[in-house]
Amino acid sequence: MKKLIITLTLFILAVNFAMAQAPATTSTPAKTQITTPAAPVNPPPAPKTPYILAVQARKLENRDSLFKTIRVDDLILLQLSNPKEFMDSRPTDATKLTLYADGIALKGITSDLFNSIRKDEFKTTDQVIWVTFRLKQDSSTKAAWDNLYKLADSWHSNKLHVHLSMAWDGMMPVKTSSENLAKTHVTIVYFKSGTFIAMSVLYLGLIILILYLAVRSDILKEEPGGAYSLSQTQLAYWTVLIIGGFLYSLMLTNIPSTLNYSILLLLGISITTNGTATYIDYFKRSKAGTTYTPKKPKGFFNDILGDGESMNMQRFQIFAWNIVLGGYYIIFTINNKTMPMIPDVLLTLAGISSLGYVASKPAEA
């Protein structure tokens, strides 16, 4: 019993000692966490769009005088906004910058401004720059001028009123805002009116001379004092047309290469037809000797369409075909300011037509 009392006493003392050593704890209310709203995120700035602001021109040797009427070899200046964004739109570092007129690409008329600059190397803080083009007129820009001439008001007009812009090859031209549209319109003068009048008078004189010789001489006749020759007339017809087309296109474009091989082949067909027909007539005269009876003249159309006795279908078809082909040649040359590249099928048809006439000639009276 005594041991039990001692044990309980020691247990109570141990508990009291432990409670005395434990730190006092007080319960505190949980703190409320206050969250601050996130700052609003500003959207990224809208991309800047390049625009053409104005177009001017100046002479190559004169930097001070600016004007709106452009002639061949003048420098064309396009004012471009946001050049950095425009450069970023370049497809490749080799892409050319081409001039545009009324939305039509003028191939060959390019700017050298960005040629030596890589897209990732282009650094500028300028918001506006001037881009320069030279209005060249040679074989390298023939396609560009062919497109320009299609915008002409008439066949004798020497001026074009166009809106100019530019673009990387294969891309849409740079836009122009409505308030700046008038500033981007210019007038292009591509030949002098005085030169056109002088050349027209010269060509008209050539036609009058041919007609005079046709009436007053034997230049278009099968033999002196004889009937008119269809082959001689065909040769004269194409000679006059080709000279006229060459002068017209050369005067307007200053590009002699408009005289293409198809035109030379067409003239060659006429020369060959005339030479063959002349030889056949010579052979018939030589074979007949003193009994040869020349074809009697009956008037221009009767002579060239008839064989001496009646109208001949072979002669009519070559006459009709030359009229049709000549009309096509004239219309194309006037509309495009260049002589046409006549398709091979039309040249073949012209050759067959002439061959049919030559083949039937020995049987004529």
What's the pLDDT tens digit per position in 224-260? 888 899 999 999 999 999 999 988 888 777 776 667 8
Burial of 355 (0-12, 13-18, 19+ CB in 10 A): middle
Whether 278 is covered by a domain: the verdict is yes
Whether 342 is covered by a domain: the verdict is yes
CB 70 within 8 A of CB 159: no
pLDDT digits (tens, 9 = 90+) for 19-60: 555 554 444 455 555 555 555 656 666 668 999 999 999 998
- Place 64 in a pLDDT band, splitting at 50, 70 and 90: confident
Residue 358, pLDDT score: 85
Residues 216 and 321 in one domain: yes
Residues 202 and 346 in one domain: yes
Query: Which DSSP symbol is given to 311?
Result: B
Whether 262 is covered by a domain: the verdict is yes
Q: Which residues of 155-182 are buried (b: 16+ CB within 10 A; e: fewer)?
A: eeebebebbbbbbbeeeebbebeeebee
Residues 166 and 243 in one domain: no
Residues 205 and 186 in one domain: no
pLDDT digits (tens, 9 = 90+) for 192-216: 888 888 888 999 999 999 999 999 9
Range of the domain at 263: 195-363
- Does residue 343 register a pLDDT over 60? yes
- Which residue, of 190, 225, 259, is where some domain finishes? 190
Question: What's the predicted TM-score (pTM) here?
Answer: 0.69
Amino acid at 1: M
Residues 269 and 229 in one domain: yes
- Does residue 334 register a pLDDT over 70? yes
Burial of 121 (0-12, 13-18, 19+ CB in 10 A): exposed
